[in-house]
Each structure stands twice: as structure tokens, then as C-alpha cells.
Amino acid sequence: MFWINVPIGVAGILVGAVVLPEFAERRGRFDVPGLVLGVPAIGALVFALIEGPTQGWGSVRVLAAATPAAGALIAFVLVELRVPQPMLDVGFLRDRVIGAAVWGGSRWASGCSARCSSSACTCRTRSATRRPGRASRPCRRPWRS
């Protein structure tokens, strides 16, 4: 199912490169330091965020992914501030409106995540004595059924 998106993505990139004038006019060097720091940092951060609820936020696996991710993200921002053609222009955060929107959006997402993970839920049972999917008892951990 994943592979059906690959030709669509490639077609979108090719059409965008032809149709969007800012990409057609932009020529320059590829930001290799940004790529080398950014991709592993985002990958490790995503891994830590996915594994954190099940493994525990203080587990060795999660901390071993989150710690280098934080360091690499800080290094990524410092590198992107200094290269002539950055992969991600972090200078846009200096705009008060954009900075406030990013800060507010991240606070909102954090609040929603905390609310969803701490809300009361019910576990589902699949035993022969009960109907499948019927709520039976409160969960201690909402991510396990």
C-alpha cells in the first residue's frame, strides 16, 4: 500500500519543480550538513515519541534515541543559521506572528496529547462470556487492550 504513494510523490515533485517559479529560479548547492544533521535527528525523535508510551519515557531505548536527537536538532538549527542556502530557513521564527503561531500550536498539541493519554478509558474484552468489544473494566494503560 505504501508503494502506491511513491509515483504520486515523484510526480508532485516534478510538477512542482516546473510550475512553481521560486524553485525554477533557485539554483545553488545542496545543504549537505543540514541533511546529515536533520534526517537522523528527526528519525530518532520520531522513534522516541513512538516508543515512549509503550517502553516508558525513562527507558534506555527511549533515552538513547531522544538524547542524540535533541543534540542533533540543536546542531541542525545552529548550522542552518550559518549556511548561505539552508534547507530550512529557521530565521522565519524571528517574525513575531510566525513565532507565536508555532509556539501556540506546539502548546496546543502538547495539551491535547497530555489530555488524551491521561483521560479515562475502558479496556475491551474478547472473552467468550462477554460480547466482543464490550467495555469491561478501566484501563491502567490506555495503549494496551
Indicate the pTM of the whole model: 0.56
Q: What is the chain's pLDDT, residue by residue, as a tens digit (145 residues)?
A: 678 889 999 999 888 878 877 655 666 777 889 999 999 999 999 999 899 888 888 999 999 999 999 999 999 999 999 988 888 888 887 888 888 888 888 888 877 766 665 544 444 444 445 555 555 455 455 555 4
User: Which of 81, 77, 67, 84 lies closest to 38 in space, CA to CA?
Assistant: 77
Q: Which residues contact 85 (CB under 8 A, 6 or more apart)?
A: 28, 29, 31
Backbone φ and ψ of 136, nearest 5°: -120, -40
Phi-psi region of 141 (alpha: psi -120 to 50; beta: other; left: phi over 0): beta
User: What is the crossing angle of helices 60-82 and 32-55, to 10°?
Assistant: 150
